[in-house]
């Protein structure tokens, strides 16, 4: 059965004779188009529908429902299935067996392999025995794309080992709204950092040949296109209002970079941008993606979002109208998780001429093309016995190393850290003994809750500190405890600070682990970015004891702590570092490892003063001057790129190969970096540009290049950073790109260099 479709296609080519021979397309394209010509309208419509596996499972028996599969595949010819079976991860063997059965039913009833996808967000995170990495926000903090590439490689290998060839990752939403609950899923607020890290992960997932993805790689689905991370309300799946210049220049940039690097599929933003639902935007889906970039990949909706065009957005009269609008805008596959009858609506719309056959066929071709590229027509069910590296020590060490480089030292007064051997530690806070808070969402379950047995083999912060410093040196008194029911993650159900204060008397240092419990998507919405009153009161009372306090921030977004920050002697932001994050933290606190992470976002100080690092120069009137000076300074807790180390680095001799340049040039900068301290350390060298005068108000600065280097004490290295001159351009009010004649300031560390563009270019 697995060769049925290929045989049909080859027979069709023989029948068509000369027309196939004259076609200059690749053999794969000819086979796909030949197959489409033979398909019925029902078969075509079914290929555009994706259902949740819950529609074909019997949860009472914990098995597939054969009658449901006959309907889904036999009647409606559905082309794709997604999601984790039974709402929680299973081990690799169980997952693979279930996937094989689903695939066999699809082949038996449709003659075409199904395309199965799962949300493998930070490793194969829906396989219980797979290797989990830190979340993307942590990998961004490493400023080291090697970690993103390694996560992509391991995710692909371990996902394929469970017979799943497609994942909805990487996430590439610029996190420009600090309260948005999905900040932690993405690579931070900067478009260049996002682009570099996402491309590294995506390429490693897909391998070298996008037309022939082998059985050690999978298809990536870059998401959520676009401006999803900029909702005006700060709430999930709510409208964004973004200038067309920023949309083109910043939000589009990571998606463009990934598509140009070979991304095979893309998922759409659930919400709207400037009043237009992205699922209904032909401009953004067909114009910007498929036409401008000449992209032949596949666009899939997010969960039930075509329905939202009429249920929530009110741009469609009914469900059928919504399907029509979405497919005509450029949607190729509808993630309608519950109802296979969407295929009937697609068929009716085609028969009525409301969806042109050319658009329908184009969508079907894109779906089949992805299946061909994944090798599903040749090998829909592959042998998973040979994946000997699954969960291996090499993968575990890679996750640990990523966690070490991702945790950020923000404050270290009086060199409190590293803690000396023998230090008596009082450990407290709701995050101190929790694996759930270390992993975050998309970890075994959607909200990262409910299956503690899966993460039991790994260390909480309490267990890791005991292993690092000795069980007799670490005393744990929680003080504040989260509700672990999973639905009220924000609430703290137990607050008892007095025992913690009493225990401080016998401690040398207090380590307070504060922040957030795990959450994902809409359940993570909040009304106040300030850290909870209970946790802040815990820190205040502990600081009053006079003992030095180390704050460990374990959170998916930057919760405001401006009132308690002065009370802490040291602060470490570990974000969501994964199963090995506590081991990494313990090694960093002891000095066995050295800090090298940097914030990939701006950490706000005040609720009503939230911005990103690349704000406009006119927003800084108190320092930039001007007739009306209202002290509009940008006052943040910690700027983008902040990160301390146990050693120090000095920068010198910033050079550039072209002081005068034009748009066609590539600029080569070099700088000498020296470890001036007494410990080995890694330094992320960041290069920023500032356009000194432009025809639109310029950003204060923009990240243009970075590279991480590791140096022994006293060692130096010349770091070379290349910047295409065209990347210094901006999008003007006319929607065009402009690189204008004039001066630019280049900054690396405290060093500055001025260069000049010798002529204006527009494209």
Q: Which positions are annotated as active-site residues? A: 302
Tokens describing residue 566:
């002065």
Q: List b or e across 551-574, with b for residues whose CB sees 16 or more CB atoms inside 10 angstroms.
A: bbbbbbbbbbbbebbebbbbbbbb
Residue 229 · residue 182 · CB < 8 Å: yes
* Measured distance CA(687)–CA(721) in Å, rounded: 8
Q: The tokens of 169 are what? A: 């990752």
Distance CA 741, CA 408 (A): 39
**E-strand spans in 201-343?**
219-225, 265-268, 272-273, 276-277, 298-300, 334-335
Rounded CA separation 620/751 (Å) = 21
Report d(CA 205, CA 217) in Å as an integer: 5
Name every residue whose Cβ is closer than 8 Å to that of residue 591 and which is 6 or more positions away in sequence: 417, 418, 419, 646, 679
Token readout for 636 is: 């943040």
User: Nearest-CA neighbor of 593 among 468, 459, 460?
Assistant: 468
> Is 41 buried (19+), middle (13-18) or exposed (0-12) by CB count in 10 A?
middle
- Give whole-number Cα distances, 690 to 211, 429, 696, 741, 754, in Å: 40, 42, 13, 14, 10
Please state the φ and ψ torsions of residue 255, each to the nearest 5 degrees: -70, -45
- Give the whole-angstrom CA distance, residue 738 versus residue 757: 12
Within 13 Å and on the Cβ side, how many CA atoms surround 537? 10
List residues bridging with 512 in a β-sheet.
428, 551
Kindly report the CA angle at 426 between 421 and 428, in degrees rounded to 5?
135
User: What spatial distance separates the first Cα and last Cα of the chain, rounded to whole Å?
Assistant: 51
- For residue 705, give both structure tokens: 């290049």
The C-alpha atoms of residue 402 and residue 580 are separated, in whole angstroms, by 9
State both tokens at 621: 């009137």
Nearest Cα residue to 197 out of 175, 218, 227: 175
User: Which residue has tokens 């992470």?
Assistant: 597
Which whole-number Å values give the CA distances from 75 to 42, 71, 311, 391, in the listed order? 9, 5, 27, 39
Please state, in angstroms and as integers, the Cα–Cα distance from residue 380 to each residue in 79, 100, 163, following that order. Answer: 13, 8, 9
């Amino acid at each position: 059965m697995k060769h049925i479709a290929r045989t049909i296609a080859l027979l069709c080519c023989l029948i068509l004779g000369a027309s196939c021979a004259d076609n200059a397309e690749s053999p794969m394209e000819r086979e796909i188009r030949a197959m489409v010509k033979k398909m019925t309208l029902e078969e075509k419509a079914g290929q555009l529908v994706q259902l949740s596996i819950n529609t074909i499972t019997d949860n009472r028996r914990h098995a597939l429902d054969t009658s449901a599969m006959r309907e889904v595949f036999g009647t409606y010819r559905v082309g794709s299935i997604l999601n984790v079976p039974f709402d929680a991860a299973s081990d690799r063997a169980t997952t693979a067996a279930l996937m094989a059965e689903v695939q066999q039913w699809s082949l038996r009833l449709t003659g075409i392999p199904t395309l199965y996808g799962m949300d493998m967000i930070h490793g194969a995170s829906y396989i219980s025995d797979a290797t989990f990495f830190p979340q993307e926000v942590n990998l961004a903090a490493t400023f080291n794309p090697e970690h993103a590439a390694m996560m992509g490689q391991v995710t692909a290998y371990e996902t394929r080992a469970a017979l799943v060839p497609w994942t909805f990752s990487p996430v590439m939403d610029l996190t420009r709204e600090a309260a948005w609950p999905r900040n932690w899923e993405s690579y931070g607020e900067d478009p260049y950092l996002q682009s570099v890290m996402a491309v590294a992960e995506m390429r490693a997932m897909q391998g070298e040949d996008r037309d022939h993805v082998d059985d050690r790689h999978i298809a990536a689905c870059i998401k959520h296109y676009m401006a999803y991370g900029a909702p005006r309300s700060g709430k999930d799946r709510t409208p964004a209002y973004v200038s067309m210049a920023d949309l083109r220049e910043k939000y589009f940039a990571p998606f463009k970079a990934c598509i140009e690097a070979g991304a095979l599929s893309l998922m759409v933003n659930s919400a709207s941008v400037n009043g237009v639902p992205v699922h209904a935007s032909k401009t953004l889906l067909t114009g910007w993606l498929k036409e401008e970039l000449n992209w032949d990949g596949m666009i899939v909706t997010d969960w039930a979002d075509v329905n939202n065009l009429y249920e929530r957005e009110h741009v469609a009269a009914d469900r059928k109208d919504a399907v029509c609008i979405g497919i005509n805008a450029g949607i190729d596959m509808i993630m309608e998780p519950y109802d296979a009858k969407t295929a009937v609506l697609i068929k009716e719309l085609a028969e009525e001429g409301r969806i042109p056959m050319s658009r329908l066929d184009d969508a079907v071709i894109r779906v089949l093309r992805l299946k061909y590229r994944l090798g599903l027509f040749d090998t829909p069910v592959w042998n998973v016995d040979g994946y000997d590296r699954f969960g291996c020590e090499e993968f575990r060490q890679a996750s640990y190393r990523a966690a070490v480089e991702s945790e950020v030292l923000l404050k270290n007064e009086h060199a409190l850290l590293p803690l000396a051997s023998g230090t008596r530690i009082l450990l407290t806070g709701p995050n101190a003994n929790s694996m759930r808070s270390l992993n975050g969402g998309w970890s075994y379950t959607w909200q990262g809750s409910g299956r503690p047995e899966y993460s039991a083999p790994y260390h909480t912060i309490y267990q890791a500190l005991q292993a690092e410093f000795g069980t007799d040196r670490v005393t744990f008194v929680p003080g504040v405890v989260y509700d672990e029911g999973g639905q009220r993650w924000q609430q703290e159900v137990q607050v008892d600070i007095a025992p913690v204060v009493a225990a401080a008397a016998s401690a040398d240092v207090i380590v307070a682990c504060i922040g957030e419990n795990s959450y994902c998507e809409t359940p993570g919405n909040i009304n106040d970015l300030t850290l909870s009153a209970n946790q802040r009161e815990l820190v205040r009372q502990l600081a009053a004891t006079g003992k030095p306090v180390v704050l460990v921030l374990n959170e998916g977004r930057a919760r405001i702590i401006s009132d308690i920050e002065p009370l802490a002697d040291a602060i470490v932001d570990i974000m969501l570092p994964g199963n090995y994050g506590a081991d990494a933290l313990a090694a960093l606190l002891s000095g066995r490892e050295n800090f090298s992470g940097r914030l990939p976002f701006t950490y706000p100080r005040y609720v009503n003063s939230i911005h990103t690092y690349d704000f406009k120069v006119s927003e800084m009137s108190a320092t930039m001057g001007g007739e009306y000076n209202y002290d509009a300074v940008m006052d943040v807790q910690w700027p983008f790129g902040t990160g301390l180390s146990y050693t120090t680095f000095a920068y010198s001799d910033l050079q550039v190969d072209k002081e005068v340049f034009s748009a066609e040039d590539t600029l080569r900068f070099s700088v000498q970096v020296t470890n001036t301290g007494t410990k080995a350390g890694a330094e992320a060298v960041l290069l920023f540009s500032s356009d000194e005068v432009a025809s639109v108000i310029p950003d204060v600065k923009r990240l243009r290049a970075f590279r991480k280097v590791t140096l022994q004490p006293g060692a130096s290295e010349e770091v070379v950073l290349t910047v295409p001159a065209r990347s210094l351009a901006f999008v003007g009010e006319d929607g065009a790109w402009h690189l204008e004649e004039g001066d630019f300031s280049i900054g690396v560390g405290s060093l500055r260099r001025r260069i000049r563009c010798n002529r204006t270019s527009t494209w």
